[in-house]
Amino acid sequence: MTAELPLRPPPDGSLAARLHRLAGRLFAFVRRDDAVREVDHAAILARVEAEAGWSNRYAFMVLMSAGIAILGLLLSSPAVIIGAMLVSPLMGPIIGLGFAIAVFDLAEVRKSLTALAVGSLLAVLFAAANVFVSPLTERTPEILARTRPNLFDLLVAVFSALAGGYATVRGRGETIVGVAIATALMPPLAVVGFGLATADWPVFTGALALFVTNFVAIALSATVVARFYGFGAHLSPDQTRAQGWGLLAVFVALALPLGLSLRQIASETLFTRTVRDAILAEFGKEARIDSLEPEFGTAPVEVRAVVLTPAFREDAAGKISSGLEGRVGIPFALSLHQVVLDQDPRTLRPPLGEAVRPGPAELAAATLRDQLALATGASDITIDRDRSGALVRLPVGQTLPLAEIHRLERRFAARYPDWEVRLVPPLAPLPPLRFPEGSAEPDAEAVDMIGWALARWSIPEVRIEGRAASGESADLALARARAVAEGLARSGVTASAVAAPSGTAAREREEGRAAQRTATVVAGA
């Protein structure tokens, strides 16, 4: 016998009727009465309780996960952050809390909450200690992304918890689901540690709010799944009326901040969507909003927007603000920056008698800054209008190859001939220069690229290690190093040339013969 949806069916033939039948089939598929009867509730509870408490293994894995997470956040590396999720043990206590609430087991609630509280405090303090001794203490995009709860963060937490509860009941994929649950919890905890170590209280409080919102959403979602599969008070033999009221109070205490957070998320989402629609209505369908950043922690709310538009619009910010008065319900200040595409900013002139529009120099500088930011993803951009210079320091962890950064600088130099544009790549090992069989003639463009990078890094002296494959002479290896040294001299870099040992047959089999015909640049003469 299958379960039926407790809904009154709509009239046959309508879209609502078809959706009702589809929902009914899905409901019946997920929760079949015979499947619920087959669930070994006692065995599942025993397994959940064993993973929900404090242990030395749990403490060690929390420390390792927090350490990896904060390093990934400081480097702004999503790959490293994902690595932290793979070792995080937070699924055990939080699923344990959800199931304990479902069966009204106050002792298990206390045990799970204790493990979560102590583990969270341990993670925050360990992350803060890492930040305190680290030379990297700047806010990164990955850190800033975890300083405010939003609807998508909440959905990630809810979906992760639903999957976690289902995997626990059905006994499938708990490890993978644990990664998803950790995604919603460990990075915010690490950011709380960052805010504590740097005394950055807006980051601290924002990340803490995100953690609490996600934690509560996961715990209550796990409770819903557990109740759905028949976990109830009858599975807790020591249940008393007082404990029942106590668990109800815990449930309400958890639901209250979640409700307040949901209300705030909904109002902020509606505000952002209303402002976005108003901007697009003003600029038309050919424009695109590159960024829209409301700062809800200020009064009035500061809204910064960058619009990519084919034509500059006078007093657009004032018109949009006037149109939004009375519609958004809160005071705000709109700062709107227009990036004019497909036009040379030096040719733009304000119409006669208009003093509000920026002058050509200001518009050229602003446009150059925005286009550099869009092309490189960098935020450390210095514009010197007096000397017509632009200096861009690309962040550690950026994914652009060195050759692409070099080409970007040349393209900007060609597009803005009156400006000196300098892109500084993050410090990293230089790629080796490869040579054809028997040749000592390097690729001139590759040598120029390496000379450019060394100049950007202010490295005046290097050592060139030439290599030869098996069967090639040591003199050829030295000739390759000297040829590269001569090429770097054109960039003002002093280089000494040495011959490195030739490649062995075993190494050639592993790396390939071409990988041995190289010249490698090593910093320091």
CATH number (domain holding residue 460): 3.30.1330.60
Q: Residue 127: is its pLDDT beyond 90?
A: yes
199 and 51 within one domain? yes
219 and 94 within one domain? yes
- The CATH number covering residue 303 comes to 3.30.70
135 and 47 within one domain? yes
By DSSP bridging, strand 389-393 and strand 420-424 are: parallel
218 and 249 within one domain? no
Q: How far apart are CA 521 and CA 495, in angstroms?
A: 9
Strand partners, 433: 519
Q: What is the pLDDT of residue 19?
A: 64
> Of the residues 174, 199, 233, which one is the last residue of a structural domain?
233
| Opening angle at CA 122, ends 121 and 126, nearest 5 | 120
Domain membership of residue 442 as a residue range:
433-523
Higher local confidence (pLDDT), 351 or 174: 174
**CA distances, 248 to each of 122, 231, 428 (Å):** 29, 16, 56
- Among 264, 265, 254, 47, which residue's Cα sits nearest to residue 156? 265
58 and 106 within one domain? yes
Main-chain phi, psi angles of 466, to 5 degrees = -85, 145
Q: Cβ contacts of residue 196 below 8 Å, gap of 6+?
A: 124, 128, 204
- Work out the pLDDT band at 121, boundaries 50, 70, 90: very high
Residue 102: inside a domain, yes or no? yes
Q: Cβ contacts of residue 445 below 8 Å, gap of 6+?
A: none
Q: Where are the alpha helices (DSSP H) in 88-173?
A: 91-102, 106-133, 141-144, 151-170
Q: What is the pLDDT of residue 4?
A: 40
Answer whether 189's CB lies under 8 Å from 123's CB: yes
> Of the residues 233, 268, 300, which one is the last residue of a structural domain?
233
| Each residue's pLDDT tens digit, 428-482 | 888 888 888 888 888 888 888 888 888 888 888 888 888 888 778 778 888 888 8
The count of domains in the chain is 4
Q: What is the pLDDT of residue 447?
A: 86
| Each residue's pLDDT tens digit, 194-252 | 999 998 888 898 888 888 888 888 888 888 888 787 776 555 555 555 555 655 666 66
Q: How far apart are CA 114 and CA 109, in angstroms?
A: 8
- Among 261, 223, 257, which residue's Cα sits nearest to residue 109? 223
Residue 227: inside a domain, yes or no? yes
Residue 320: inside a domain, yes or no? yes
398-428 burial code (b ≥16 CB/10 A, e <16): eebebeebbebbeebeeebeebebbbbbeee
Residue 16: inside a domain, yes or no? no
Residue 480: inside a domain, yes or no? yes
Answer whether 278's CB lies under 8 Å from 258's CB: no
Query: Which helix H or strand E contains 19, and what residues bound it?
Result: helix 15-30
- Please report, rounded to a whole number, the percentage of residues in the chain having pLDDT higher than 90: 7
- Work out the pLDDT band at 36, boundaries 50, 70, 90: low
Residue 359: inside a domain, yes or no? no
Crossing angle of helices 56-75 and 106-133, in 10° steps, is 40
403 and 507 within one domain? no
98 and 222 within one domain? yes
214 and 181 within one domain? yes
70 and 120 within one domain? yes
222 and 206 within one domain? yes
Q: How far is CA 409 from the centre of its chain?
A: 27
DSSP 8-state assignment for residue 237: T
Main-chain phi, psi angles of 401, to 5 degrees = -65, 155
Q: What is the pLDDT of residue 261?
A: 67
Residue 22: inside a domain, yes or no? no
- The CATH number covering residue 83 comes to 1.20.1080
144 and 45 within one domain? yes
Crossing angle of helices 151-170 and 174-198, in 10° steps, is 140
Q: Which residue matches tokens 């446009």?
A: 367
Q: Residue 357: is its pLDDT beyond 50?
A: no
255 and 226 within one domain? no
Provide the sign of the torsion angle of the four alpha carbons 139, 143, 144, 147, taken in this order. negative
pTM: 0.52
Q: Is the peptide bond before 300 cis (omega within 30 degrees of 0)?
A: yes
Q: Cβ contacts of residue 88 below 8 Å, gap of 6+?
A: 61, 62, 65, 178, 179, 182, 185, 186
Residue 306: inside a domain, yes or no? yes
Q: Which two tokens stand for residue 390?
A: 């632009």
Amino acid at 456: R
> Of the residues 427, 457, 491, which one is the last residue of a structural domain?
427
| Opening angle at CA 443, ends 422 and 503, nearest 5 | 120
